[in-house]
Amino acid sequence: MTAKDVRLELLKIPWFQEQKPGHVTKIAGISHLRHYKTGEVFFREGDRQDYFYIVLDGRVALDIFIPHRGKVRIYTAEQWDVFGWSSVSPSVRTRTAGAVGVMDGTVVGIDAQELIGLCDQDPGLGYRVMTRLAHVIASRLMVTRLQLLDMFAEPPAGKNVGE
């Protein structure tokens, strides 16, 4: 696949339709298309970070390991969802979750270090990318908060709230 093919796929994503054409071209140049099958592992929790991904079609499950419970799915990424975004964070050096395909599909893989370099070179691009990623992070925090509320909504039998 060429950068032109990737660019055409990126332009199907609403967020990229709002970007300057030159920015989309730059991001396409550091990206690749990846077709995957159900069960294919993108990365495991603790792996080194290199790429982050945008789902074009299919589904990808994100999971974390919880002692005494094993792997727990925390999110399922679907069309146009971003996963692996922590690879663009300046402080996170390893994967905070695992990712595995749960429905055949295609993703765009974006080289995280190359993107950081582009953002450093072009502050306008950097602002747009980081604004979008901040939105993704805020959305994930809301989902996580709702999951926690659901998990702890009913106190254990015989316990009063606040004990």
The reply to whether 27 falls in a domain is: yes
Whose CA is closest to 87, among 122, 133, 127? Answer: 133
Closest listed residue to residue 99, CA positions, set 147, 49, 137: 49
* Inside any domain, residue 100: yes
Per-residue pLDDT tens for 102-135? Answer: 999 999 999 999 999 999 999 999 999 999 999 9
Angle at the Cα of 80 (from 136 to 61), degrees rounded to 5? 80
Instruction: Enter the tokens of residue 119.
Output: 């953002």
Residue appearing with tokens 């730059």: 26
Read off the pLDDT of residues 143-157 as tens digits, 9 standing for 90 and up: 888 877 877 776 666
> What CATH number is attached to the domain comprising 33?
2.60.120.10
Residue 36 placed within a domain: yes
In total, how many domains does the chain have? 1
pLDDT at 154: 67
Domain range for residue 43?
3-151
Query: What pLDDT is stored for residue 92 in this prediction?
Result: 72
Which has the closest alpha carbon to 100: 74, 69, 118, 135?
A: 74
Residue 162 lies in a domain: no
| Residue 163 maps to a domain | no
The answer, yes or no, to whether residue 68 has pLDDT greater than 70, is yes
CA distance readout (Å), 22 to 25, 29, 84: 5, 11, 24
- Give me the mean pLDDT over the 29-40 stretch: 97
Residue 157: inside a domain: no
In a domain, 12, yes or no: yes
Q: Is residue 29 part of a domain?
A: yes
Say if residues 54 and 13 touch (Cβ distance below 8 Å): yes
Average pLDDT on 93-109 reads 93
pLDDT at residue 1 is higher than 60: yes
pLDDT at position 111 is 96
